[in-house]
Amino acid sequence: MCEAPKYTIHNHQFHYGWDNALQPAERVAPGTTLAFQCNDAGGGHFKPGDTAAAVATLDFSKTNPVTGPVYVDGAAPGDALKVTFGGFTPSGVGWTANIPGFGLLADQFPDPALHMWSYDTGAAAPAAWGKARVPLKPFTGTIGNALAEPGQHSVVPPRQVGGNLDIRDLAEGTVLYLPVEVAGALFSVGDTHAAQGDGEVCGTAIESAMDVVLTLDLVKGANLKSPRFTTPGPVARHLDAKGYEVTTGVGPDLMANARGAVSAMIDLLTATHGLSPVDAYMLCSVCADLRISEIVDQPNWVVSLYFPRVVLD
């Protein structure tokens, strides 16, 4: 945590979706450091002890509340909002669900499933689930600015101005640049995750409320087309010490290849570790990484899923 926050945006100051008509929760000068209290993506719906039955009563229109918006003085369309990630203070409880109709293999996993996590709030120890030990790296799943287009826009899809990016390296020390489309940027953040693999394949991570400290600054006239970021150091050393089990999908369609690689990993984990298929799927979502190994050897591309061996070894 670099600097003490000058403002706190509290967890009751949230909104659903993006709308540039929303009143700012706070108005700050460029360079200001703020604390954001972020709700989990279920808005507190899931409680310790809950089972899969609780998935059925989740109101999808009230998922992914984001804390904000914050108006940054001087921010104008064409600028970039520079977001520097300070420290995270995770709640120590979280959930991962298979939500029917949602996720990369929604057709193969039609039934709800839920795992409630309890983890070290310092995020120093891995989170346990049966014999699995998932290393943690808290980050913000949803982080973005308001869109120029009027009206309310769903929070689910990520956009050029950011939003539900679910990039697991938007973590402590990273510097993120987001395109600004409206005066003041109208920045909001939420959907904090204690851990996630690249892809978030089942659709949920270790969803967990937490506080995050961010510094908001401006790069005037950046004319950025989509988000970019800089990490200060390695991004996967919490996962890589024992190497990876890797499955592949080979063929002419990247989406089909990704699905094939994940299916193959579920088959491998169920065969070698006795996990149920849906548990293997949810475990991949919180720790395994989808990579595009090759995208030029036409007509077939290779997508690989890297499952960190440290989790089950």
Nearer to a copy of itself, 52 or 222 (CB): 222
**Strand pairing report for 127-129 and 289-294:** unpaired
Nearer to a copy of itself, 198 or 217 (CB): 198
Angle between helices 254-273 and 277-287 (to 10 degrees): 120
Residues that bind a copy of itself (CB under 8 A): 102-104, 156-160, 164-169, 198-203, 225-237, 240-250, 254-255, 258, 260-261, 264, 268, 289-300, 302-304, 306, 309
**8 A C-beta contact, residue 42 and residue 58:** yes
DSSP 21: T
3-class state of residue 155 by DSSP: coil
Nearer to a copy of itself, 49 or 225 (CB): 225
Where is 263: in which H helix or E strand?
A: helix 254-273
Nearer to a copy of itself, 192 or 247 (CB): 247
Nearer to a copy of itself, 22 or 236 (CB): 236
Least Å from the CB of residue 148 to a copy of itself:
16
Candidates 290, 306, 287, 291; CA nearest to 137 is: 287
Q: For residues 169 and 166, what is the distance between their CA atoms, to the nearest angstrom?
A: 9
Per-residue tokens: 3: 């600097």
Nearer to a copy of itself, 57 or 298 (CB): 298
**8 A C-beta contact, residue 8 and residue 34:** yes
> 255 CB contacts (<8 Å, ≥6 apart)?
none
- Residue whose structure tokens are 């002419």: 252
Least Å from the CB of residue 72 to a copy of itself:
21
Buried b (16+ CB within 10 A) or exposed e, 250-274: beeeeeebbbbbbbbbbebbbeebe
DSSP 105: T
Q: For residues 139 and 311, what is the distance between their CA atoms, to the nearest angstrom?
A: 19
Nearer to a copy of itself, 7 or 102 (CB): 102
